[in-house]
Amino acid sequence: MIGGLMFASFSLAAQSPAAPAYREPFRPQLHFSPREKWANDPNGLVYYNGVYHLFFQHYPGDIIWGPMHWGHATSKDLIHWRQQPIALYPDSLGYIFSGCVVVDSANTSGFGQKGKAPMVAIFTHHDPAGEKKGNNDYQYQSLAYSLDNGHTWTKYRQNPVLKNPGIADFRDPNVMWYKPGKKWVMTLATKDRVTFYSSRDLKSWTKESEFGEDQGAHGGVWECPNLFPMQLDGATYWVLLVSINPGGPNGGSATQYFIGQFDGKKFYTGGSTTKWIDYGPDDYAGITWNNTGKRKIFLGWMSNWIYANQVPTAAWRNAMTLPRQLRLVRPVGGGIYLSSLPVQELNSQAAKPVMLNGVPIDTLTDLSGRIGLSATQYKLTLHSDTLKDFFITFSNLQGQQMALGYDKASNRWYIDRGLSGNTDFNKEFPKKFFSPRIADSKALDLTVVMDAASLELFADDGLTVMTAVFFPDAPLNRLHIGTKEPWKIRRVTYTPLRSIW
């Protein structure tokens, strides 16, 4: 989203200025959020020397979108984050928009010194003056490098390295080393498609091909692409993530993906169904970490441009999703899909779980007492050999609730945040969101991760994922499950999760 900022009138929901950092109302306790002020897309995800780096679109001056910087946070385990000084500031070429970081081990760029490989950031410079004038060439790609493990960054003197050919939306470079061709490949969002470029030295770029003008969803502009190989049954497939805004399956921002082949120049795909990495309203601009070998870990921005500037937090605005491990899977019925599940490192936060076996469920079964929900954040897993039409509500004594369930007649999962508390800052917010069920197994396999202000649903071993944020006045720690037909759930497991802060 660029421009069109909305200034919200929001209720401050008992927000006290004296609240200690990371303990304010609505503050995520399992997810990364900026200590202060505005955040959007994750940028420059890279693993290097034992550290996961998370850069992010950041405006340190306010809790609304503004002149973009790259914020920075680091983690050793993807769960506990430490915010670092701002990595990149706007300059005479413009704001610092989204992009990536690569480790240039062979020093192809020549930025390395004394045998030290550079980390190189490839990002979009966005010139607000050019945009205001109505030009169409105000976005171009630039470089910065770090020789001290990402702590400090030097911008390349000859920026930009990829000039704008006259396309107003020309941004969000994502670069990978293409081993067979011994070259770098950049995937760039170019309005209604992606364009691939290649380079030997990260400085001079040649256009290779375009993809997508006639593929996938086109309800809005394409943004934040990410191309990477993955394995399934001994074969290599290429996955291309493309965010789109608006035009998501539930309105506004969302991320579609394509599975195909890439030959160093061109991306090919056969499928015609549009696939979404997350069908909920709040997972956008997600990309994967570079330099993690075969393991692919995804992180998205947990918001939606429809209301991102209006949600009722005061010290900061917007968080990231949980890091999710991606796998390729081939469900019965054909086709190849991505499955995403929270990274196993999240288990380090687990307190003692409560397990219920053979749980009889009728029209409305209150499990609050048996489970003794006391935590603000927790994981709930449900396993059963049968899957019925059912719903779960997570509620508080004020009657605020998040609901989710499976609608058998339409074979869809859903999340309903209509009654979730503070919802009146945008009329698109209090809604029910649906997602097709992709799996066709008879069994129930559901994991839900609840945080202070978000719910992430992972159904059918991560084949269908839905993320939604919400803003209750008190934790939703009462649990009900209901069904239209009598049912017994084989196992319900409730695991309180400790705060990461």
| 281 touches 417 (CB < 8 A) | no
Does residue 423 bind ligand FRU (CB under 6 A)? no
Which of positions 360-379 make contact with ligand FRU (CB under 6 A)? none
Does residue 285 bind ligand FRU (CB under 6 A)? yes
Does residue 53 bind ligand FRU (CB under 6 A)? no
DSSP string, 173-210: EEEEEEGGGTEEEEEEEETTEEEEEEESSSSS-EEEEE
Site string for ligand FRU, 81-100 (x = CB under 6 A): ----------------xx--
Q: Which of 80, 29, 27, 32 is nearest to 58 (CA)?
A: 32
Q: Which two tokens mark 200?
A: 């030997």
Of 52 and 170, the one with the shorter C-beta distance to ligand FRU is 170
- Torsion angles phi and psi, residue 128, rounded to 5: -65, -30
Does residue 68 bind ligand FRU (CB under 6 A)? yes
Does residue 171 bind ligand FRU (CB under 6 A)? yes
Does residue 317 bind ligand FRU (CB under 6 A)? no
Beta carbons within 8 Å of 245's beta carbon, 6+ residues apart: 1, 220, 221, 223, 252, 253, 254, 284, 305
Of 224 and 497, the one with the shorter C-beta distance to ligand FRU is 224
Does residue 438 bind ligand FRU (CB under 6 A)? no
Site string for ligand FRU, 126-165 (x = CB under 6 A): ----------------------------------------
The Cα–Cα gap between 300 and 106 comes to 30
Return the residue matching tokens 């030097």: 154
Q: Which two tokens mark 234?
A: 């001994």
Helix (H) or strand (E) holding 129: helix 128-132
Interface pick for ligand FRU out of 224, 242, 297, 346 (rule CB under 6 A): 224
Of 66 and 271, the one with the shorter C-beta distance to ligand FRU is 66
Of 224 and 481, the one with the shorter C-beta distance to ligand FRU is 224
The Cα–Cα gap between 60 and 141 comes to 22
Q: Which two tokens mark 349?
A: 């936060």
Does residue 57 bind ligand FRU (CB under 6 A)? yes
Alpha-carbon separation of residue 328 from 46, 95, 299 (angstroms): 21, 36, 17
Does residue 41 bind ligand FRU (CB under 6 A)? yes
- Would residue 445 show up in a list of annotated catalytic residues for this protein? no
Smallest gap from Cβ 129 to ligand FRU, in A, equals 16
Does residue 190 bind ligand FRU (CB under 6 A)? no
Q: Which residues are catalytic?
A: 41
- Binding residues (CB under 6 A) for ligand FRU: these are 1-2, 40-41, 57, 68, 97-98, 124, 171-172, 223-224, 285
